[in-house]
Amino acid sequence: MTNVKIAPSMLSCDFSNLEKELKNIDAAGAEYIHLDVMDGHFVPNITFGAPVIKAMRPHTNKIFDVHLMIDPATPYIDAFANAGADIITIHAEADKHPHRTLQHIRSLGKKAGIALNPATPTSVLDHIMDLVDLVLVMTVNPGFGGQSYIALEDKITDVRARINATGRDIDLQVDGGITHETAPKVIAAGANVLVAGTYVFKDGHDHYAQNIQNLKEG
CATH of the domain at 13: 3.20.20.70
Q: How far is CA 209 from CA 25, 74, 109, 216, in A?
A: 8, 35, 31, 11
Task: Assess contact for 118 and 138: CB atoms under 8 A.
Answer: yes
141-195 confidence digits (pLDDT tens): 988 888 899 999 999 999 999 999 999 999 999 999 999 999 999 999 999 999 9
Which of the residues 39, 65, 95, 175 is marked catalytic? 175
Domain count, the chain: 1
% of residues, the chain, pLDDT over 70: 99
10-39 confidence digits (pLDDT tens): 999 999 999 999 999 999 999 999 999 999
Tell me the pLDDT of the chain averaged across its residues: 96
36 catalytically annotated:
yes
Please report the pLDDT score of residue 144 as a whole number. 80
The alpha carbon of 106 is separated from its chain's Cα centroid by a whole number of angstroms, namely 17
Which of the residues 26, 36, 65, 130 is marked catalytic? 36
130 catalytically annotated:
no
Peptide bond into 98 cis (omega under 30): no
Domain that holds residue 25: 5-217
